[in-house]
Amino acid sequence: MKLIENRSLAPRKSSRRIVVLLGIATVLAAGAATYWYTRPAPRPVARAAPAVPVVVATAESRDVPIYLDALGTVSASNTVSIHSQVTGTLQSVKFTEGQEVRRGDTLAIIDPRPLQAELTQAVAKKAQDQAQLVAAQKDLERFTSLAKRDYATQQSVDQQQAKVDQLKATIDADEGAIENAQTQLSYATITAPFDGTVGFRQLDAGNIIHPTDAQPLTVLTEIKPAMVTFTLPQKNLGDVREAMLRGAVTVLAYDQDGTKELAGGELLLIDNQIDQMTSTIRLKARFANDDRRLWPGEFVRIRAQIDARQNVVTIPPPALQRGPNGLYAWVIKPDNTAEQRGVDAMTPDSNTVIITKGLAAGEKVVVNGAYRLQAGTRVDAKPESTRQAAAGDQ
């Protein structure tokens, strides 16, 4: 009987143990659930924003020339159309088209025989009149001697004196005719009036040439030196005049693209009046043009240096920005953060910006990548020279 009782009690003790274990598990699960839903949220780990890559340049202190740009036209310093001054047969042409000639060089010869004949006639006429003068003077001496002895009247003496005077005037006219014939004969040889370059030949040997011909024999131009005429707005007149008062104004001539320098010269003059229709002034510059790189009729771009700024701070044009409050530039501080700084600036040309206020020489400014910047942004700055070298390697 005792054995049976002990066996019946064993299942009861197991059931209690299971109930107790289940209760403990339920309490633990409830506690875990309570902790899970009531625990504080984890704090996010702060991560630094990545540095913004930018390209920078250094503000430099240097001397900057100030130029005025214009479009000009090249012209020869001298141009002449070669015409004949006498009528005759063009015997020979002594030049080659495009040839450079010197002053006095023979360009063409007109048949001189008719002109030589006229000169011969004029000389013979003078000799004839001189012979008549000698005879008239002897007659005058005889009439004068006879009149002193009352063998001739004073009227005869006066008439003979008038004949002598008339022959003297005729001889003077003969000398004029000889000079004219000599001049006409010299016109048979056409020479260059100055050093220059001849153009196209408009008439061939064998043709009759006239002073009234519409077409010249050729056109001679002097292109060394060359002149360039250009215009500037009226507002630049004062600056140009002040520059000329200080001394010679240097003028540079470039090709039509404005990239290749052709020649250097000097401003020669300012026109004596302003064109009121366009409100512009005309100017002329002189170029030695020894290498003949300037050609008459050519269009060139002109840069006239009217001033020079000494020891000014300059930056590349891409570094200058314009905002609602005016001009500014992004400056990289020593801690590699960006600062937006207002500046006063002027642009003397397309490659240079002069900073008159707001920047110092040696400071670094952003020339590429500024669109991603805000005040205090950390940057990864690369020099502009490094970027250009990398682009060149590619």
Alpha-carbon gap, residue 53 to 371, rounded angstroms: 11
pLDDT at residue 391 in the model: 40
- What's the CATH code of the domain at 244? 2.40.30.170
- Tell me if 280 is assigned to some domain: yes
Can you give the residue range of the structural domain that contains 364? 54-62+311-393
Those residues whose C-beta lies under 8 Å from the C-beta of residue 8, and which sit 6 or more positions away, are: none
Q: What are phi and psi of 221, to 5 degrees?
A: -125, 140
- What's the CATH code of the domain at 160? 1.10.287
291 and 357 fall within a common domain:
no
Alpha-carbon gap, residue 200 to 190, rounded angstroms: 16
303 and 231 fall within a common domain:
yes
- Tell me if 351 is assigned to some domain: yes
- Tell me if 277 is assigned to some domain: yes
> How many other CB atoms are there within 10 angstroms of residue 261's CB atom?
13
- Output the tens digit of pLDDT for each of the chain's 394 residues: 444 444 554 555 566 666 666 667 676 666 666 665 666 555 555 466 788 899 999 999 999 888 899 999 999 999 999 999 999 999 999 999 999 999 999 999 999 999 999 999 999 999 999 999 999 999 888 888 888 888 778 888 888 899 999 999 999 999 999 999 999 999 999 999 999 999 999 999 999 999 999 999 999 999 999 999 999 999 999 999 999 999 999 999 999 888 899 999 999 999 999 999 999 999 999 999 999 999 999 999 999 998 888 899 999 999 999 988 899 999 999 998 989 999 999 888 778 899 999 999 999 999 998 888 888 889 888 887 644 443 444 3
- Tell me if 336 is assigned to some domain: yes
236 and 277 fall within a common domain:
yes
Tokens of 50: 């990545």
Evaluate if pTM is beyond 0.75: no
245 and 277 fall within a common domain:
yes
- Tell me if 19 is assigned to some domain: no
- Tell me if 332 is assigned to some domain: yes
- Tell me if 164 is assigned to some domain: yes
- What's the pLDDT tens digit per position in 336-380? 898 999 999 988 877 889 999 999 999 999 999 888 888 888 988
Q: Considering 163, 187, 211, which residue would you say is the last residue of a domain?
A: 187
Alpha-carbon gap, residue 288 to 280, rounded angstroms: 26
Yes or no: say if 338 and 373 are a contact pair by the CB < 8 Å rule. Answer: yes
Instruction: State the pairing for strand pair 218-233/338-342.
Output: unpaired
Give the Å distances, CA to CA, from 207 to 30, 112, 298, 346. 129, 14, 34, 65
- Tell me if 167 is assigned to some domain: yes
CB-based burial label for 228 (10 Å; 0-12, 13-18, 19+): buried
Q: Considering 287, 309, 331, which residue would you say is the last residue of a domain?
A: 309
271 and 335 fall within a common domain:
no
